[in-house]
Amino acid sequence: MSQQARWSDLAPRVLSGLAMAGIGAGAIWIGGWLFNGLICALGGLMIWEAARMAGARGAVSAGLLAAVALALALLLPGILVLPLLAAAALVGAGQAPRDKGLHVLFAFWILLGCYVTAQLRQEAGFGWMVWLVLVVVVSDVAGYFAGRMLGGPKFWPRVSPKKTWSGTLAGWVGAGFVGLLLAESLAAGAGLVAVSMLVGFAGQLGDIAESAIKRRCGVKDSSDLIPGHGGVLDRFDAMLGAAMMVMVLRLLSLMPGLQ
């Protein structure tokens, strides 16, 4: 790969990233209905993309249903959340012409990840939401630059041919550095370094999971909505994976400073 081709997507990626960072930072700071509304909109777009990739009929309807289901899930008692999100995933992705079970699970993962993200901002507050975003972003940026500058063996070439071990390890280091920087302000102690690395790795697995779905569906990007990044799913798959890991760690009481 030539030097020019290796960095050809950097400019649109940076510009789009800055725009998303500005919108996201404002929504995270304000929180409340604005943040929840953004999460519902993103969830709807991701389900629309997932339905299109699966070749399901009524992708737009599936996205709208997902957004409404997320909004209701954030208002209704917790006991109703899982059945509601599962029903929305089943209705939308269940129309896929093949691999119905796989696409239903994928849609449910998207919706639950969105719900968990909104709940984290609501229950844990601004600081923890910033931590989660920084873990994902720094891990991604560190992996992007290390992978292209250092290259080397591929992490999982059959699923994600661009990911290298150098980029993967750099992502872990970047995530751990975020934990180190924020450990004191979040009253989490040194344990947050290891947790951040684990959450960063879960984010990488989220990215790989989406890559596997795309490869199964025979598409390169989930859509072309975001210049330099592809689709909404392409940009937020790591966030979904990281959020799900935070949920698991909280359920196991393994989040230092956050139970």
pLDDT of residue 8: 54
| In the predicted structure, residue 10 carries a pLDDT above the cut 70 | no
Task: Answer with the one of 124, 158, 187 that is the final residue of a domain.
Answer: 124
Q: What single-letter amino acid sits at 127? A: G
Task: Tell me, yes or no, whether 183 and 202 share the same domain.
Answer: yes
pLDDT of residue 9: 57
pLDDT of residue 99: 86
Q: What is the mean pLDDT of the chain?
A: 89
How far apart, in whole angstroms, are the C-alpha atoms of residue 205 and residue 251?
Answer: 20
Task: Answer with the one of 72, 103, 124 that is the final residue of a domain.
Answer: 124
What does the pLDDT look like over 51-106, one tens digit per residue? 999 988 889 999 999 999 999 999 998 899 999 999 999 988 878 888 899 999 99
| In the predicted structure, residue 17 carries a pLDDT above the cut 90 | no
- Is 246 inside a domain boundary? yes
Q: Which domain holds residue 105?
A: 31-124
Task: Tell me, yes or no, whether 55 and 79 share the same domain.
Answer: yes
Task: Tell me, yes or no, whether 98 and 115 share the same domain.
Answer: yes
SS3 of the chain: CCHHHHCCCHHHHHHHHHHHHHHHHHHHHHCHHHHHHHHHHHHHHHHHHHHHHHCCCCHHHHHHHHHHHHHHHCCCCHHHHHHHHHHHHHHHHCCCCCCHHHHHHHHHHHHHHHHHHHHHHHHHCHHHHHHHHHHHHHHHHHHHHHHHHHCCCEEECCCEEEEEHHHHHHHHHHHHHHHHHHCCCCCCCCHHHHHHHHHHHHHHHHHHHHHHHHHHHCCCCCCCCECCCECHHHHHHHHHHHHHHHHHHHHCCCCCCCC
Task: Tell me, yes or no, whether 105 and 71 share the same domain.
Answer: yes
Task: Tell me, yes or no, whether 91 and 166 share the same domain.
Answer: no
What does the pLDDT look like over 191-249, one tens digit per residue? 999 999 999 999 999 999 998 999 899 888 888 887 766 789 988 999 999 999 999 99
Task: Tell me, yes or no, whether 193 and 213 share the same domain.
Answer: yes
Higher pLDDT, 2 or 151: 151
Task: Tell me, yes or no, whether 174 and 113 share the same domain.
Answer: no
Task: Tell me, yes or no, whether 211 and 145 share the same domain.
Answer: yes
| In the predicted structure, residue 2 carries a pLDDT above the cut 50 | no
- Is 1 inside a domain boundary? no
Name the residue among 82, 70, 35 with its Cα closest to residue 247: 82
- Is 198 inside a domain boundary? yes
Task: Answer with the one of 97, 124, 151 that is the final residue of a domain.
Answer: 124
Q: How many domains does the chain have?
A: 2
Task: Tell me, yes or no, whether 114 and 178 share the same domain.
Answer: no
pLDDT of residue 5: 47
Task: Tell me, yes or no, whether 103 and 115 share the same domain.
Answer: yes
pLDDT of residue 148: 75
What does the pLDDT look like over 155-186, one tens digit per residue? 777 777 677 878 889 999 999 999 999 999 99
Specify the residue for token string 């409404």: 68
Task: Tell me, yes or no, whether 161 and 95 share the same domain.
Answer: no
C-alpha separations of 45 from 29, 48, 71, 101 in Å = 22, 5, 14, 20
Q: What is the mean pLDDT of residues 27-34?
A: 94
